[in-house]
Amino acid sequence: MSQQRGLTRSSRSQFWDLIDSIRQRQSNMSVLVATAYMEEAERFDWLVAMNAGEVLATGSAEELRQQTQSATLEEAFINLLPQAQRQAHQRSDPTVST
């Protein structure tokens, strides 16, 4: 088990299979999931982008990409961050465009 991720790859897969099963059986049920993985967040109907306990934006993945004029959800999240944090991401990953 990875200390950073908390779940093994197999456990993550089982978790998402369970969530998908619940959503198929209970279409009127809300499922609240927190993740730092944008590829997982893409699966959600509605997102709340947060930083340090502050809500930065809400909407679908497509709405957040459009709102921030970003190609990916990860770029959208970075573009929602305060300027100093955006700059830190740019320095640590030169492929990030803001």
Q: Where are the domains of the chain?
A: 45-85
**72/61 Cα distance (integer angstroms):** 9
**68/75 Cα distance (integer angstroms):** 8
Please give the chain's pLDDT, 98 residues, in tens: 444 557 788 888 899 999 989 888 998 888 888 888 899 899 899 999 999 999 999 999 999 999 999 999 999 999 999 988 888 877 776 665 55
Contact 87, 97 (CB under 8 A): no
Q: What is the model's pTM?
A: 0.75
Please report the pLDDT score of residue 55 as a whole number.
Answer: 97
